[in-house]
A = this chain, B = another copy of it.
């Protein structure tokens, strides 16, 4: 039973003000990407709930209907942003850290140094875009929560790969997956405290402790190896 005649024109006025026709209706192929980039940036700067759709639209130069064509809701936009972040993670975060040094354990701390530089550049504001969303939306959007989780997983998986490459420099039996997650823990916890403090000291302190932990692990691995050598 189709409800015909339900829809009647809501804009019966033909067009009162003549307008210079600013390139109407032509699809710009990067609209979706522009929305995604703008939303990602604004969510990072202001948080999810504090960012209104109107702001995203203004900054991206997009009209509401256009955005809702690609993302049927604000939550869907959030999901899109997190998927976008998932794709961005390797080229924008892990690859630069790898380019800094070939030393596998060195890469872990270059990665942290990268975040430090980001924090410094923004005056200890904003922090980690994924971490922020983790705490803000994890409870009420299951899909988004899972995507945050996958972002974290990919992050620590990349770190784990470096740890695996470090081979004998870590003690035998080291749970490298657990250790890689621990690196993420230290990064996020350090950034949180640095934001609250308004300076990088808590972050630097956290990294220093992690460094001490790694030094202890490497030392332990060394003495392990020497003991093995001596037994021969």
What residues make up the interface of A, taking CB atoms closer than 8 Å to B?
45-47, 49-50, 125-127, 131-132, 134-136, 138-140, 145-146, 148-149, 152, 175, 178-179, 181-182, 184-190, 192-193, 195-198, 202, 205-206, 208-210, 212-213, 216-217, 220
Contacts and interface: CB of A to CB of B under 8 A. Distances in A.
A118 to B, nearest CB: 14
B195 A134 contact: yes
B196 A181 contact: no
A100 B187 CA distance: 30
Contact of A202 (B181, B187, B202): B181
A182 B209 contact: yes
Contact of A149 (B152, B179, B197): B197
How many copies of this protein are present in the complex? 2
A127 B178 CA distance: 21
A134 B181 contact: no
A196 B149 contact: yes
B152 A195 contact: no
A108 B162 CA distance: 31
A213 B138 CA distance: 30
A185, A188, A216, A220 pick with most chain B CB within 10 angstroms: A185
Contact of A134 (B145, B192, B212): B192
B188 A188 contact: yes
Contacts of A188: 188-189, 192-193
A6 B196 CA distance: 45
Contacts of A178: 205, 208-209
A207 to B, nearest CB: 10
